[in-house]
A and B are shown apart, each in its own frame.
Chain A
């Protein structure tokens, strides 16, 4: 087992690595902004997991109450034109975005990391051609590319939206990972692995990947914020989850033309999106700061 002998001094013993990790975690959680972000995020995840525990009324059935009531004691967020309690709908509305956005981000991060490892490791022709292609994709705004794909595919189901955003993220992620891999390949441990005669796939995924993994984590959290942005925007313009889903952006899509005078049907879902977006960004910013220190 000469392999282990050569690599052993390169990586710190597991206990030390774990100590460094928990130290980082402690630093992340000490920041008040990260703490607030985590709490808000945890609240929405809880609502997504157990909507039955947080809603007072059914979020989907029509005509349970008088229609279009402004906010009052019994209905703090009012009711909508279908006679549903908006508070219940807002509380039940985090589920689809909290499934679609992380799933899309995961797809994009996995594909992008693989692509970044390949281009950064092999360089040369592979790298040049993929990089130019990435440039071309990135010259289109995310939403515009997404609209084109969704229209060309001819349906905007959850799956299509998830895959579309994941695919668009892959080149963005690959670019970041590629830069890090380029720096790693200069280091001695990669040269040592090459001299040992390791296969390229082993060097990329078992040697380099663990060393760029913190960066991948940071990239994931940052992309998650953008994914929420993208899913919400697509749903708002009508290419996402259709009504009667209580999804926030879908509610806004349905009611924003009635904003004068029925402002409460649009404002409360909008504020819910805002709270989620801010929470995710506070957390991702905290994580990035710690890793970059």
Chain B
């Protein structure tokens, strides 16, 4: 287990380093004059020069990367151009909001998807299975804003049950906040349902097909017990891995949902930074999203290993 942990941690650090290289490389491919491109054609030459100096774009690419990465190592994510504040001060509250939304979405989504997957797996090949699977695939492939628009129309406008923006007023109670988060959370639930349910279903089918399940049936255990003790226990670990990957997706892939519901999360912040060509804020936001994903998948891998005796006890890697 220790060897596995060390190896996994080492990999994560290498990937993190490459992530900074990739993000930096993309953000410096801007052709021509960065300051001019950011400030537009009507800015004075002095302000363009000043910005170029502030961003250090007159240095070589390598020096720029080392400067930038050095600042990162000291916890300095740069300064926003449009808001004249350290980017982390803007990113932290946005990240917290995104986590809140992701949390509510997961409370709804995970039990529902696992239930759907288990039912589909147990009814493998029948009508119930086919309808759950096809609905799941179709919803998973749908862009979030399409699902969100339909939900806004039905529950927000026609039925008038739920607020159509996600941002509750300042200082609203947790319950009110949750109510505001319900529509975007439902949107995310519909998108994620297919992914999670599909993996659970595959796990259930594989477990049902196994020798130990047959033995359990043949020794006369009631089917409820077989499903709970043998099928689910073996079918759920892969689901955990998928669920964790989706947390990473949720936090960063929220752009369209947060724009649609005007929710002040990290997706909306990245979107606004891009619209205003605030490159330092945009790069910092993208990097934070990548780091969140890496950390979450790292935790998921460790959790998965801890649940899997073959890895926990140090056999295979």
Interface residues of A (CB under 8 A from B): 33, 132-133, 135-137, 139-145, 147-154, 225-226, 229, 232-233, 236-239, 249, 252, 256, 259-260, 263, 266-267, 270, 273-274, 277-278, 280-282, 285
Residue of A with least CB distance to B251 = A141
Say yes or no for B283: interface residue by CB 8 A criterion.
yes
A94, chain B: closest CB distance, angstroms: 15
- Closest residue on chain B to residue A277 by CB atoms: B141
User: Is B145 close to A, CB under 8 A?
Assistant: yes
- Interchain CB contact under 8 A, A152 and B27: yes
Cα A79 to Cα B73 with chains together (Å): 55
Q: Chain B, 245-276, contact with A by CB distance < 8 Å: what is the 0/1 string?
A: 00011001101100110000001001100110
Closest B residue to A238 by CB, please name it. B275
In the complex, how many angstroms separate the beta carbon of A4 from the nearest chain B beta carbon?
A: 43
> Is B63's CB within 8 Å of the partner chain A?
no
**How far is it, in angstroms, between the C-alpha of A144 and the C-alpha of B271 when the chains are bound?**
9
Q: A136-B19, A267-B153 are in contact. List 10 more A-B contacts (CB 8 A).
A: A132-B15, A136-B18, A144-B252, A144-B289, A147-B271, A151-B282, A153-B31, A236-B145, A252-B145, A270-B150
Chain A residues with Cβ below 8 Å from B134 are 33, 282
Name the contact of B282 in the complex, choosing from A148, A154, A239 (C-beta under 8 A): A148
A-B contact pairs, 18 of them (CB 8 A): A136-B15, A139-B293, A144-B255, A144-B270, A145-B286, A148-B283, A152-B30, A225-B141, A229-B141, A232-B145, A236-B143, A236-B256, A263-B157, A273-B146, A274-B150, A278-B138, A280-B141, A285-B137
- The reply to whether A147 and B274 contact each other, CB–CB distance below 8 Å, is yes
Distance in angstroms between the alpha carbons of A137 and B18 in the assembled complex: 8
Across the A-B interface, the 7 shortest Cβ-Cβ residue pairs: A136-B18, A141-B253, A151-B274, A281-B141, A136-B19, A141-B252, A278-B138
- B interface bracket (residues with beta carbon within 8 Å of A): 35 or more
Nearest chain A CB to B292 CB, angstrom units = 9
Q: Are A139 and B19 in contact (CB under 8 A)?
A: yes
B16 to A, closest residue via Cβ: A136
The contact of A139 among B15, B157, B275, by CB within 8 Å, is B15
Q: Whole-angstrom distance from the CB of B29 to the nearest CB of chain A?
A: 5
How many inter-chain residue pairs (CB < 8 Å) link A and B? Answer: 154
Contact partner of B30 (CB less than 8 A), chosen from A133, A142, A153, A225, is A153
Contact B30 A147 (CB under 8 A): no
Question: Closest residue to B262 on the A side, CB-wise?
Answer: A257
Tell me, in angstroms, the Cα distance from A143 to B268 when the chains sit together. 12
B28 to chain A: which residues have CB within 8 Å? 152
Q: Give Cα A260–Cα B160 distance, bound, in whole angstroms.
A: 11
Query: Are A144 and B259 touching (Cβ within 8 A)?
Result: no
**CB-CB nearest in chain A for B255:** A143
Given contacts A143-B255, A281-B137, contact A233 B15 (CB under 8 A): no
B14 in contact (CB, < 8 A): yes
- B225 CB–A CB distance under 8 Å: no
Report if B294 contacts A (CB, 8 A). Answer: yes
Query: In the complex, what distance in Å separates the CA atom of A151 from the CA atom of B14?
Result: 27
Tell me the smallest distance from the CB of B11 to a CB of chain A, in Å: 8
A225 cross-chain contacts in B, Cβ below 8 A: 141
User: Please, which residues of chain A bring their CB within 8 A of the CB of B19?
Assistant: 136, 139-140
